[in-house]
Amino acid sequence: MSTLLRKMIDFKGHGDSIQRSSLLADLVVSAFSCFFWAKTQNPQNPSCPKPLCSLSLSLRRCTSSLVRAEPRSREMALRGVWQLQKLIVSYCNWGGSSRGMRAFMESHLPAFKEVNPQLEVATELIRGQHPHLKAFYKNKNQRVICVKNMSPEDILLHATRLRNALGRKVVKLKTRHVTKHPSVQGTWTTAVKF
């Protein structure tokens, strides 16, 4: 149990999420087996023994740090496949509206590339034009967002939203009730009189 716990603490910053989750599952199973072993040894005492309390506390700390260390980059993908293929960061090297984009490229862009290794990020120098982000998706759609006069944090937010998007066209809904098989009687409302 202690070797598993040491492995977990050493492993929390490394490896992919599948390895971390399997290690976490092993740790939880061994913690439960220790708990039930302690209960069978002393059935009259319903409280947990002192070493087991410290073990559960260290387990709780370790698992909470693991959950925090888990990368959030897998949350907006279609069937586990990222839809954004390429992100082009266009900027001007002397324009005032590109000041935030230049600061974003120095401070936030290297970390953004490191967090998203599946994404191809390219920079493009366009002199005399406003800066923008251009996203290319797997379904051949593309989105362009103008980021003129924005702060680096706002540009990072827009880049993250482009990464999280599926790249589908935005469809305006005609009604609030969307179904493949519309009702013959019509949508029920509170104004129906019988």
| Count: domains in the chain | 2
Write down the pLDDT at residue 192: 73
Instruction: Write out the residue range of the structural domain in which residue 7 sits.
Output: 2-70
For residue 109, pLDDT over 60 is answered with yes
Compute the mean pLDDT over every residue in the chain, rounded to the nearest whole number.
Answer: 76
Phi, psi of 135 (to 5 degrees): -115, 135
DSSP structural state of residue 31: H
Domain-located, residue 77: no
**CATH number of the domain to which 108 belongs:** 3.40.30.10
Question: At which of 13, 42, 70 does a domain end?
Answer: 70
Which residue shows structure tokens 């590339």? Answer: 113
Domain-located, residue 179: no
Q: What is the pLDDT of residues 75-95, one digit of tens each?
A: 567 888 999 999 999 999 999
